[in-house]
Amino acid sequence: MANILLTSSCNRSCPYCFARNEISGPSGGQRLSWENLIYIADFLWASGQRKVSLLGGEPTLHPQCGDFILYLIDRGFKVTVFTNGILSPSRLKEFRRHLTEMPLEKLDLVCNLNDPVLTPAVPQEMQRLNSFLAVMGPWTRAGFNIYRLDFTLDFLFDHINRFSMKRRLRLGIAHPVPGSQGSFIPTQDLRSVVTRLYSFRQLFETYRISLRLDCGFPLCKFSDQELGWLYRSGSHSPFGCGPALDIAPDMTAYHCFPLSNYKRKSLFEFNSLEEINKHFSQLRDEIRTEIPGIYEECDGCHCREGGVCAGGGMCQIVCRFLGEAPIRPAGIEDEISKYRMSK
């Protein structure tokens, strides 16, 4: 699936934001034009892709966000919108009027929620979020990014029940962003994250909420029992680190948010999604040849070699490169030097 970034503006400032290299603040910033959206839709359609995700910044800050969603659905795409749910009253009115008749299989919203205690929001934001969920709850999945070890999930279950949200939770870990400061889970703490996550198992089962893990979890940090639970909750093979393929408003494409500055290339240089995937596969091979995974044990691991586990996120490996002397091949060092220079 391709991610289309509608705008670089965002109205929230999350401590773990892995898009921070791309974000410009609540106003200004770049916006995707209609012409470019049509180009992307044609490009994806011609490549056989029928699913798109809309992201930002905060995609609902784009003045034509509603139009873009309706357009892509009309073009035959299944659209997923990643939002923080903090919509202005006028934008919410627009959503209520134009999107609440939409079949659930055509439109999917992922609302990224922050813990109200550990990452408090101002009352107006909470009010807007609640209003959004009251209207769009049935179309919305809850999303949560783990960025500290004492995370809780109780508030998510409360939101899902209160607003009749989809009973699926998208859970990600906050990744380090090369060249940038922000909260994230270090690789040595991933086991603790899994242990804590498993402690919520009873709540997942009680409320019949399925779990979908985002990229970057290493398989070896789960016990067989935990893996069985994951499998039964519907989170199949969450151990990859494939290109998310983000397309920015300036029509450049990159592997994923944390690696947004790594071998970024204009979409106009490609003729199909296949070509883009090839470009980013080369990037992956280049990095994985140097270091197979985030742990020493990844080298020679049969799960990694068999393609079941990617060996953690590439962004974590690139961060490791950054802390080293420049000993890597020129292709990597050229990219790494961009981060070093921007420091």
The partner residues of 110 in beta bridges, in order of sequence, read 82, 141
**93 versus 278: smaller Cβ distance to other proteins:** 93
**46 versus 134: smaller Cβ distance to other proteins:** 46
Footprint of other proteins on 240-269 (CB under 8 A):
none
First to last CA, the chain: 32
Sheet bearing 107-112, strands edge to edge: 210-213, 168-173, 140-146, 107-112, 78-83, 51-55, 2-5, 246-247, 252-254, 265-266
Amino acid identity, position 151: F
**Cα(281)–Cα(283) distance, integer angstroms:** 5
Binding piece for other proteins, criterion CB under 8 A, among 61-69, 171-179, 319-327, 334-342: 61-69
Residue 295 phi/psi, 5-degree rounding, is -115, 155
Q: Is 45 in the site for other proteins (CB under 8 A)?
A: yes
Query: Contacting other proteins (CB under 8 A), which of 27, 35, 90, 122?
Result: 35
Number of residues forming the site for other proteins (CB under 8 A): 18
Query: Contacting other proteins (CB under 8 A), which of 24, 30, 49, 66?
Result: 66
* ω into 57 cis (within 30 of 0): yes
Binding piece for other proteins, criterion CB under 8 A, among 34-42, 103-111, 282-290, 321-329: 34-42
Is the C-alpha dihedral spanning 64, 66, 70, 72 positive or negative? positive
Binding piece for other proteins, criterion CB under 8 A, among 16-24, 59-67, 158-166, 198-206: 59-67
Could you tell me which of 272, 249, 268, 271 has the C-alpha nearest to residue 260? 249
Q: How far is the CB of 223 from other proteins (least distance, A)?
A: 48
Binding mask 88-107 vs other proteins (x if CB under 8 A, - otherwise)? ------x--xx---------
Two tokens, residue 280? 């980013």
Q: Is 46 in the site for other proteins (CB under 8 A)?
A: yes
**Cα(101)–Cα(236) distance, integer angstroms:** 31
Q: Is 134 in the site for other proteins (CB under 8 A)?
A: no
Footprint of other proteins on 212-231 (CB under 8 A):
none
**24 versus 64: smaller Cβ distance to other proteins:** 64
The residues that touch other proteins, with contacts defined as CB under 8 A, are: 33-35, 38, 41-42, 45-46, 64, 66-67, 70-71, 74-75, 94, 97-98
